[in-house]
A and B are shown apart, each in its own frame.
Chain A
């Protein structure tokens, strides 16, 4: 006697302009099971879940719930179909109580009084049945993140979700909280609920899921029964056999230590520890690459070194000088340049014309003007020189930066930072959204910097890039450096480390 799958996706396809986020996805999740979806960033997992939850509409394809095709137009239809989503970024009202947050949208009547007692009773039942304990009268803003997530789960169950989707749920949890979450997911499954778990952490997949699908570059590349596969196989499927970007480079000749990070701990806006007691060095004349799936603390690490985020504790030394409390302007004077991960909001002001962005951060330099004025001629000349040298197209320093392609925008940033001849270069995601030609160009410039004796710290979620450029590779997972490898380390080894399985 076979049951219809709890949820089935047939031929789901979604494009955002030129980006093909989901390519003909087929997925089948059996009722009463926990299904994992694993993949790197940009694989298309979040888009797929947003389609299931009604945020986006697929361009083509069908969604079936319990065998019935359903048109999911908005979150209301999704909720009505029994689909509940626990978002990565919680959708909670901070100054409401747990009870109020759970009831929002499912109050059970125009007057709250009736709904409140029913809700309390239901919360008690959910607590009993699934072990989801939380004080209904606690204020969200006073709860630790793990409990806040529990409220998100309760919200979904309260609305009668039969299918629960969790998007990277353990990113903000301590290991103990994560284990507790898995116990709860197991109970849910045993009680007949269906759980879809999106994660990049192989440990979780192996620990809790019954089946797992692997997504890569918008496609569903494989589905396995968890019991019948291994971390190795999954890592390989996740990372894939791509054309390796090979860059011509000679041996590195590292000199003295330029950057020294000691016991650095960095917390995010919510107080969650994102970088946990990290220590490492970068020497002049070498490229140290930090590999890892996004969300494991690399961004916060880079921001702390770049002076954008205050560390909670620890030391950062640049050429022997402590810089952990120094602001970005001063850091530039000290010879630190930064190609940020987010070029759209941080590295560039898209509304500005190109030449204005070519001096962003260095606009106080005497070269560009004196007595508080800007010497536009000098700036534009400088910008044109960079445009020529870096082959930025169209070669128009007066064009609004938003009108340049992603690759050329990135070249603007790269040109600006590299041409300062800094002692040390911080680079985050240098080739995200950049075309192949520009990628090669940027990589070559980075190698040139290394050969000129600069210290380079590279953060990238593209493993290929890390392996192509780095002399040493550090892998970050859950805020820790879980291992150091040389440039010739194998993909699979690195993939496993990135997914939390120790080498």
Chain B
């Protein structure tokens, strides 16, 4: 009998196996660290210290996590409807355009808390718009959303570079970026929160978009499990046959799910563009869209899990940056390696240990 169909208790399926996958990923990373001549345990300690050992460290960690929460939520919404949206990288990029346009338009005239809601809407609308065509193609013409969203990532990159180099660039300057936003177009940092806990952020750009991300995580939870639309999306995602039976319209549900997904990806842009650099730059997404896929998978597509997984990757990013200061042999790219391993073991190989566990469990269950 196939082991895939044997049910395992929740604590094994959702607790032990993912942790084991993570452990293996870290073990192999440790091996690579050892290969390049450093002590893995020292590296781990430095990494954790760098990420969590100071107000600044925590600030950076949560700053990175913010981006991953948005992209993770984006992927999760689509997955619940049965769609694999790999386009969050491109949707976030275009979302940045939306946020930047709002900031550039309003920052002379109004304070940040007036600009903010419009920027959120702008980012979301632009991100959703970028997801619309792949969504429509899947819903109406059956074109595989995986392939179209990959293509749109690249089209987005080309488009944004063009805009930044030829249209939005500050006349006379060399760098392909917009002018710096005035405080009316920026998102303030969460220095005051840090001070509450008795520490300082220093130069960590942890900003208000972190709170927006948490709010969005809550709202996504409400959407998926407390609304009719969420119910319909989940039904479609688990059982398209049941969805037909229940009168759930395929095309409309697919398109709405993708628009919401694209909107959340677009909101990711608020973090770096308005919260950190205060201008729109090339490549500001920096791979967060792809990390979002891993975050969503690891978080089992649940907002709570996504927040935790996003923080984990934030720790990796920030801890890795600190680590590369103290151990020059370990560069930022080592973190990319670890990321890859985590994605591989917690994602693609997530069932690798399942057959072994089924056997162990069945032996013990009989006792």
Contact = CB atoms under 8 A, between A and B. Distances in A.
Contacts of B238: 349, 351-352
A363 B231 contact: yes
22 contacts: A307-B247, A327-B247, A328-B245, A328-B246, A329-B248, A329-B249, A342-B241, A345-B241, A346-B241, A346-B242, A347-B245, A348-B242, A349-B238, A352-B238, A356-B231, A360-B235, A360-B242, A360-B246, A372-B229, A374-B230, A374-B231, A402-B7
Cβ-closest 7 pairs across A and B: A329-B247, A328-B247, A361-B246, A346-B245, A345-B241, A346-B241, A349-B242
A227 interface: no
Contacts of B7: 402
Contacts of B3: none
A332 B235 contact: no
A146 interface: no
B227 A338 contact: no
A340 B241 CA distance: 11
Contacts of B241: 342, 345-346
A332 B247 CA distance: 9
Contacts of B108: none
B359 interface: no
B4 to A, nearest CB: 15
Given A364-B228, A373-B228, A376-B226, A330 B239 contact: no
Contacts of A340: 245
Interface in B205-236: 226-232, 234-235
A352 B239 CA distance: 11
B244 interface: yes
A308 interface: yes
Contacts of A364: 228
Contacts of B234: 349, 352
B77 to A, nearest CB: 16
Nearest to B245: A346
Interface of A: 306-308, 327-332, 338, 340, 342, 345-349, 351-352, 356, 360-361, 363-364, 369, 372-374, 376, 402
Contacts of A351: 238
Contact of B242 (A330, A347, A402): A347
Given A308-B245, A329-B246, A364-B228, 12 more contacts: A306-B245, A328-B246, A345-B241, A346-B241, A346-B244, A349-B235, A349-B238, A349-B239, A349-B242, A352-B238, A361-B245, A369-B228
A208 B226 CA distance: 60
A364 B253 CA distance: 14
Nearest to B229: A372
Contacts of A372: 227-229
Query: Which of A306, A329, A373 is the most central at the interface, judged by chain B CB atoms within 10 Å of its CB?
Result: A373
Given A373-B226, A373-B227, A363 B232 contact: yes
A360 B241 CA distance: 12
B232 A338 contact: no
Interface in B81-139: none
Given A347-B242, A360-B242, A330 B247 contact: yes
Contacts of B231: 356, 363, 374
B247 A361 contact: yes
Nearest to A402: B7
